[in-house]
Amino acid sequence: MIRKDIKLDKEAKLVVEKLVKLRKEGKIRSIDELGHIEGRVEFKKIRNYFKQKKIEKVVWKKDIKLRKCTLRHYRGKPNSPDIVLPVMLYFHGGGWVVGDLDTHDAICRKLVSNAQFDVISVDYSLAPENPFPRAVEDCIETLKWLSVNHKKLKITTEKILLCGDSAGGNLSAVLSIYNRDILKKNIVYQILIYPATVFLSNFPSKRKYDGIILSANLMKWFENNYLLGKNPEKFKNDWRLSPAYARNLKGLPKTLIILAECDPLFDEGNYFAELLKKNRNDIESIICKGQIHGFLTMGGVIKEANIIIEQIREKANSVLS
């Protein structure tokens, strides 16, 4: 039951009501009641009810096997396969446990449609088989690999944009900090979509919007799997888990943070935006009124998902041109 003081977007409300109905009918199960393998299957099944139905055609979609993870390289129409383009690295959401290249394929296809850049989607290793900090290490390895191998992909690394949703937004923020300090590659911009920025946080939005897509039990399930065998209390202040707790947040790339208003992660995303401003970074925020966590993957029902993807594409075109 949605609280009366919570005003959901009409289409977001349809999604929430549909999920309740599907659970009552026994057609879907709560992911946090399953093992991680079953949870991944259920996540895809649930997302299939709401995903974008129109699949954009692309010039190419190539999977590239690295040592520890797989990349998927997209080039959109009407770009020629012969020209050299800048790149957006995309990191999918799913609590570091579920989600993959396929769950976010429609988003990446839409991003490169009529874009002046390519998208490389990163299939980082998932927990609990590969617990923290393996996903972070895979993202670092991807950036290193790209800096060496970009020419054969027909891309330039003179300007790199990072983009990710939820856990992928977390990884984007962590990679930006690591890059500033260690790698020093040309990351000129980051787009963080309803990012997780404070591990084990207790912000008011987590209580107010508990159970709307994300529940306290589901977030605990993600956290326990990602930190398998580690004490959460010991690691929660590690900036690789909680980028908001990094000692130095100065000198980071220009940032766009996109938040869903009715999202348990809203407050920590907003908190991170305020920290970036306080540290004199160039930061822009978009708050999607009445929206829910994960709405970007629900473009088959929620029209605003497609509008936001178009805005991300326009921003990336501007930044990378």
Residues 45, 59: Cα–Cα separation, whole Å: 28
The answer to whether residues 302 and 25 touch, using CB atoms and an 8 Å cutoff, is: no
Annotated catalytic residue within 73, 92, 104, 293: 293
Residues 244, 237: Cα–Cα separation, whole Å: 9
Q: Is residue 63 annotated as part of the catalytic site, yes or no?
A: no
Annotated catalytic residue within 104, 118, 121, 166: 166
Q: Six-digit token pair at 307? A: 């509008």
What angle do the packed helices 167-178 and 134-149 form, to 10 degrees?
60
Q: Six-digit token pair at 318? A: 């501007």
Cα 221 off chain centre by: 18
| 3-class SS letters over 209-267 | CCCECECHHHHHHHHHHHCCCCCHHHHCCCCCCCHHHCCCCCCCCEEEEEEEEECCCHH
Q: Is residue 9 annotated as part of the catalytic site, yes or no?
A: no
Cα dihedral angle (108, 265, 239, 167), rounded to 10 degrees? -30
User: CB neighbours (10 Å) of residue 6?
Assistant: 14
The values of phi and psi at residue 166, to 5°, are 60, -115
Angle at 224 between CA 134 and CA 131, to 5 degrees: 15
Max CA separation in the chain (angstroms): 55
Q: Is residue 263 annotated as part of the catalytic site, yes or no?
A: yes
Catalytic residues: 166, 263, 293
